[in-house]
Structure 1
Amino acid sequence: MAAGQSHSVLFVCLGNICRSTMAEGIFQHLIKEKGLSSKWTIDSAGTGSWHVGCPPDQRTMQVLKKNGISNYHHLGRMITKEDFSNFEYIFGMDHENMEDITEMRPRNSKAKCMLLGEFDPQKELTVQDPYFTHGSNKNAFNEVYDQCYRCCTAFLESLNL
């Protein structure tokens, strides 16, 4: 990143209360640790409207807090056509998200749209949706945190900041 240059990233999942907010909170934390907050615009959005205006899932917030990220705030929103000109990077969490992103993407968009999992050192392309894991996988939100942390860290490293 050249001196004075800024970047922007949007994380996208289905409802914008679990995976994308987890990634956004982690990324904000990593950027703050590097002293680069003023050089980044970071946000998240969903492809569906179920949770517009809602805060992140309480399980997302619990896992973020457990990992030292306690100052994260967000209200759910849907991805918009404007996001494709406002953000340099748009990361989907799974292939369905990417299909929706690709379908919405204007032809002249310069946004780099890809799976966040493309940066996973463990080669897990899909960030699994933990929302419906009530009791079946009590560790699902922790697994999403771990994967998003790996991916966000690797993405930052790829930029040679």
Structure 2
Amino acid sequence: MKRISILFVCMGNICRSPLAEGILRQLVAEAGLTGHFTVDSAGTGGWHEGEPPDRRSIATAKSHGIDISGQRARRIRPSDLSDFDLILAMDRQNLAALGKSARPGANIHLFGEIALRTGEDIPDPYYGGPEGFELVYTRLLAGCSSLLETLGVERASCSGNTSSVR
């Protein structure tokens, strides 16, 4: 079975994308599929490179039994655009930024379209309080659960072909 690699992208890689990475890693581990997935996150901007996730993201994840404190922010690299099977932007602004540097046919999508099937942006909770981080966590959990279910069903029926998410 082909290993599936997923990259979550937000602006600074300290709020939304680290939460999504932590959530999907946890779900994959709980499903016993750790060896079948590579999960990472990055930002379109490099302001926070090398820093841990925002303390509120860490606290929100921790309150749900997920430890993201060891993650470090990084800016997306050109190689990411070809190395990952699926790249999911948290909002349209980051989707547009990714699209400017991507090769034609790159597998870049809006998280809300692929994972939630609503087309919604995942709001940036950076300038708000804990309730915004909890709302983001809830949307990311719903989307990551749906994404894993979709990929799991496909994997079982198509021997690892991820073409339906492309």
Q: TM-score, normalised by structure 2?
A: 0.86
In the alignment, structure 2 segments of 5+ residues that lack a partner are 156-166
2:161 aligned partner:
none
Partner residue, 1:13 = 10
Question: Which letter maps to 1:141?
Answer: F
- Rounded Cα–Cα distance in structure 1 between residues aligned with 2:47 and 2:14: 10
Partner of 1:68: 65
RMSD over aligned Cα atoms: 1.5
Q: Distance in 2 between matches of 1:72 and 1:7?
A: 24
Q: 1:143 aligns with which of 109, 130, 135?
A: 135
Matched, 1:83 2:75: no
2:95 matches 1:103? no
Q: Kindly report structure 1 stretches of 4+ aligned residues shifted beyond 6 Å.
A: none
Which protein is richer in helix relative to its size? 2
How much does 1:80 deviate?
1.2
1:29 counterpart = 2:21: no
1:76-108, Cα deviation, whole Å (9 max, x unpaired):
10111100121000000000000001001023x
Structure-1 separation of matches of 2:33 and 2:148: 11
| Correspondence for 2:40 among 28, 39, 43 | 43
**2:110 aligns to what?**
115
Work out the CA distance in 1 between the residues paired with 2:119 and 2:48: 26
Work out the CA distance in 2 between the residues paired with 1:72 and 1:23.
Answer: 13
**TM-score for both structures, normalised by structure 1:** 0.89
Aligned residues: 152
- Does the Cα contact within 8 Å between 2:42 and 2:75 map onto a contact in 1? yes
Separation (CA, whole Å) in 2 of partners of 1:90 and 1:145: 19
Query: Does the CA-based 8 Å contact 1:25-1:72 persist in structure 2?
Result: no
What is the CA–CA distance in structure 2 between the aligned matches of 1:72 and 1:114, rounded to whole Å? Answer: 27
Answer yes or no: is the 8 Å Cα contact 1:81–1:106 preserved in 2: no
Q: How far apart are 1:138 and its partner, in Å?
A: 3.7
Partner of 1:154: 146
Structure 1 residue runs without a partner (length 5+): none
Taking only the aligned residue pairs, the percentage that are identical comes to 39
Q: Report the more deviating stretch, 8-17 or 70-79.
A: 70-79
Q: Deviations over 1:14-38 (max 9, x none)?
A: 0000000010000000000011111
Aligned with residue 127 of structure 1, among 94, 117, 122: 122
Give the residue type in structure 2 aligned to 1:158: T
Is contact 1:9–1:42 with CA below 8 Å preserved after alignment? yes
